[in-house]
Amino acid sequence: MHRNQALYEYLKANTRNLTEEWYRNIDKSNTAGVYSSKDPKVIEALKEQNHDFHLHFIEVFSKDEKEFFKDFEPWIIEIASDIEHINTPIQYVIREFKNVRNQYLDYVREFVKLNPDITREEVDAWFDIILKEMDEVILRFIETTYKYSQNVLKAQQEMINELSAPVISLSNHQGLLPLIGDIDTTRAKMILEHTLKQCAQRNIHHIFVDLSGVAMIDTMVAHQLFQLLKALKLIGVKATLSGIRPEIAQTAVQLGLSFEETDIKNSLAQALDAKK
């Protein structure tokens, strides 16, 4: 009942007006991010995004719901991953969705004034579909934004993990693993997995593990370090430890961890000089 070609054509003819009116009415003193930008390029891009929204949303009066959202999905993904919108507080984005929704209700009222033969039932159906589908668009936008942010966080965490256990390739199938900062159980497990993987990928036969940048490790981390040395041995990689602080040595002794079969040097410089 909500599909109506005349209303569709009326809204289609006014998509640019919808965009210009919307942008003109933004309270730029009470917003942030993309909506408060004074950069002409950002403003123009924002208007085009809004206009594209209208070109998609008016199809609610022409298409069935499944096709409507299938065609709408690329726009939602584009905005959810747009850097300007990502840097805009979500409450302001949702507020502008609501402002656009109110625009549609106003335009329907204007359309009804121009067409007095329209029934109350038709108007109610149009209002209902606008409210329903706009809410669904907002929900899908929030879900897509969340998924995108989670993917970004995951990628950032993977990069951090890579940087927190950097296996540096040296000459003659040798590698260096300089450990710096605090090491908790989670990071220790990641170091074990990453080091084994990198040694295999880079064909490293001998790795220097330098602990001079690690001030303290707990019992679980010390155990993980011992497991790393054992695992390296199992894949045919010799390990040389250097820079072991007294506190770390004490923890290892208390745990009864034996490093008798591990080459240990006082410093990284000493370890590298011994292999020249």
Q: For the domain that residue 244 is a member of, what is the CATH number?
A: 3.30.750.24
Closest CA to 41 of 32, 53, 49: 49
Tokens of 61: 């009066």
At which of 159, 180, 205 does a domain end? 159
Task: Please report the pLDDT score of residue 207 as a whole number.
Answer: 92
Taking residue 175's Cβ as centre, other Cβ atoms within 10 Å add up to 22
For residue 119, give Cα distances in angstroms to 11, 12, 36, 159: 19, 22, 41, 60
Lowest model confidence (mean pLDDT) among 65-74, 189-198, 209-218 = 209-218
244 shares its domain with 131: no
93 shares its domain with 210: no
Q: Evaluate whether 88 touches 33 at the Cβ level (below 8 Å).
A: yes
91 shares its domain with 218: no
For residue 199, give Cα distances in angstroms to 126, 242, 260, 262: 64, 18, 22, 17
CATH assignment of the domain containing 67: 1.10.490.10
Q: What is the DSSP letter of 267?
A: S
Lowest model confidence (mean pLDDT) among 25-34, 84-93, 259-268 = 259-268
Residue 38 pLDDT level (bands cut at 50, 70, 90): very high
Amino acid residing at 275: K
Task: Please report the pLDDT score of residue 21 as a whole number.
Answer: 97
175 shares its domain with 154: no
Owner of token pair 């961890």: 257
CA distance 76 to 69: 10
Tokens of 256: 């009864």
209 shares its domain with 150: no
Amino acid residing at 228: L
In the predicted structure, residue 1 carries a pLDDT above the cut 70:
no
At which of 129, 159, 189 does a domain end? 159
204 shares its domain with 130: no
Task: Give the tens place of pLDDT for each residue, 145-157.
Answer: 999 888 888 887 7
68 shares its domain with 198: no
In the predicted structure, residue 168 carries a pLDDT above the cut 90:
no
Lowest model confidence (mean pLDDT) among 54-63, 93-102, 125-134, 244-253 = 244-253
Residue 90 pLDDT level (bands cut at 50, 70, 90): very high
CA distance 212 to 178: 8
143 shares its domain with 218: no
At which of 159, 185, 213 does a domain end? 159
178 shares its domain with 248: yes
CA distance 210 to 214: 9
Task: Give the tens place of pLDDT for each residue, 220-264.
Answer: 777 888 888 889 989 999 999 888 888 777 877 777 776 777 788
173 shares its domain with 132: no
130 shares its domain with 267: no
227 shares its domain with 122: no
Q: Evaluate whether 199 touches 167 at the Cβ level (below 8 Å).
A: yes
For residue 223, give Cα distances in angstroms to 112, 138, 151, 229: 75, 49, 32, 10
Domain count, the chain: 2
Domain housing 215: 168-274
